């Protein structure tokens, strides 16, 4: 049985409710077993309950555990890159208490049996909360829709072909219609595959100089604009994953202004890096979508600041050494991101683009609300899923020290501010930083 725990002397922030209490000896948060029992500035005015263990947060931040709605955990099928346990430990080290796993496993999550396997493994690991997306189509790459009702009833959070684009317009329109019966969201990787075929980085002067085939920004906006027309036609719920261009930000803003049921996310590389990170053929900066131009990066930052972009996902895509340490054109796409999600999101605050509660909103309740998950908030009676972190502590991103099995980060050596000190799931401390 998890003990009662009194978290004192913390700045308690809950972006969902607007709560932002200053640190004090008499205030904080009290958890009892799996749940939050009390929150407030005076809950310990009569002292710490005798039965409670005290955690002195020493003026640092206590917030809801982070929610990541887009990550590859690679199990089943590619456990040499990541598995449920290593991915869960990596998430915990980054302050992430809930992950929604992409369905691009082997076999893909297009059957109830695979979904049940993920749920069983997560219960065995018993670290973070792991949910899963199901594919939209059989095999995640066909024109046949999955049994959405059965998968939703079995626990699928929503539907996406993950890192593959749903190219067939008729299939996507049918999916948008059918998903409405289950209050489902269709998540899309918006990229026109013929335009992107064979490309490995952003089209432009740098790709020409490096002699690398490019992927034009138009590949994203062409598919996104088509999808938005289908949303308008069907009235379905649609979520655009990891948008990366200025044109996409404008298109999403226009769609929202027109009343379409549209949301989107981006990932840290697209607001923290541009195409120059490719440098001299750095394969760890080979991503899908590719790192874009500086004006696109600035547009992503502006889209986060004005709320056009709803949330931030890690886009965690582990790749082993053999997949990345190859000539650039042959290397796999993707980067790990669970352990750096908070640190890189805090850059938006340190650089003056977002205040701290708004930055945290992008990685707590907003992603949870998009998918209808009962997490990402601090509420009395709610789950004690918490992160304690110091937003000012300087650090250097050192992939060799990552908990993840894979170390493919484009942020190697980057100086950041922010350090996770404690991660708590259902009242259990699952990560505690060394002093």
Q: Residue 413 region, left (φ>0) first, then alpha (ψ -120 to 50), else beta?
A: left
Asked whether 171 and 137 are in contact (CB, 8 A), the reply is yes
Sequence-ordered strand ranges (E) for 2-65: 4-8, 11-14, 19-21, 28-32, 35-40, 52-56, 61-64
372: alpha, beta or left? (left if phi > 0; alpha if psi -120 to 50): left
Q: Are 396 and 414 spatial neighbours (Cβ–Cβ below 8 Å)?
A: yes
Q: Which of 68, 161, 315, 426 is catalytic?
A: 315
Burial of 204 (0-12, 13-18, 19+ CB in 10 A): middle
In angstroms and rounded to an integer, the radius of gyration of the C-alpha atoms of the chain is: 21
Helical ranges in 306-372 per DSSP H? 321-324, 341-350, 356-361, 365-371
227 is catalytic: no
| Alpha carbon distance 85, 205 (integer Å) | 42
| Residues in Cβ contact with 259 at an 8 Å cutoff, skipping those fewer than 6 apart | none
Given a contact cutoff of 8 angstroms between Cβ atoms, the answer to whether 59 and 9 are in contact is: yes
Give the separation between CA 16 and CA 61, rounded to whole angstroms. 16
CA dihedral 283, 289, 295, 301 (to 10 degrees): -100
Residues that are catalytic: 315
């Amino acid at each position: 049985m998890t003990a009662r725990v009194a978290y004192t002397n913390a700045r308690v922030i809950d972006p969902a409710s607007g709560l932002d209490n200053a640190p004090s000896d008499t205030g904080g948060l009290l958890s009892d077993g799996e749940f939050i029992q009390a929150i407030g500035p005076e809950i310990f005015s009569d002292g710490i309950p005798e039965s409670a263990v005290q955690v002195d947060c020493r003026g640092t931040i206590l917030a809801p555990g982070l929610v990541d709605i887009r990550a590859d955990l690679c199990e089943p099928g590619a456990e040499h890159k990541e598995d449920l346990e290593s991915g869960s430990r990596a998430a915990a080290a980054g302050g992430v208490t809930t992950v929604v796993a992409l369905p691009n496993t082997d076999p893909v999550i297009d059957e109830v049996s695979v979904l049940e396997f993920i749920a069983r493994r997560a219960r065995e690991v018993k670290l973070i909360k792991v949910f899963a997306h199901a594919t939209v189509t059989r095999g995640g790459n066909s024109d046949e829709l999955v049994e959405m009702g059965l998968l939703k009833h079995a626990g699928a959070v929503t539907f996406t072909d993950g890192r593959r684009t749903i190219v067939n317009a008729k299939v996507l329109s049918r999916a948008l219609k059918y998903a409405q019966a289950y209050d489902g969201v269709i998540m899309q990787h918006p990229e026109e595959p013929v335009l992107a075929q064979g490309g490995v980085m952003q089209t432009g002067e740098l790709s020409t100089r490096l002699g690398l085939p490019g992927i034009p920004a138009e590949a994203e906006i062409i598919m996104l604009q088509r999808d938005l027309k289908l949303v308008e036609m069907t009235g379905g719920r649609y979520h655009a994953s990891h948008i990366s261009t200025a044109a996409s930000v404008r298109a999403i803003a226009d769609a929202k202004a027109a009343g379409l049921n549209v949301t989107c996310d981006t990932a840290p590389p697209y607001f923290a890096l541009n195409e120059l990170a490719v440098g001299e053929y750095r394969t760890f900066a080979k991503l899908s979508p590719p790192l874009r131009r500086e004006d696109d990066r600035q547009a992503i930052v502006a889209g986060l600041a004005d709320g056009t972009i709803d949330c931030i996902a890690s886009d965690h895509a582990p790749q082993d050494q053999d997949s990345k340490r190859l000539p650039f054109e042959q290397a796999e796409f993707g980067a790990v991101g669970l352990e750096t999600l908070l640190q890189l999101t805090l850059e938006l605050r340190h650089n003056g683009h977002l205040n701290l509660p708004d930055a945290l909103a992008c990685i707590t309740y907003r992603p949870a609300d998009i998918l209808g998950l009962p997490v990402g908030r601090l509420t009395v009676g709610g789950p004690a899923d918490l992160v304690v972190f110091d937003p000012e502590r300087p650090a250097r991103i050192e992939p060799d020290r990552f908990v993840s099995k894979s170390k493919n980060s484009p942020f190697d050596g980057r100086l950041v501010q922010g350090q996770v000190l404690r991660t708590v799931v259902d009242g259990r401390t699952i990560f505690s930083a060394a002093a």
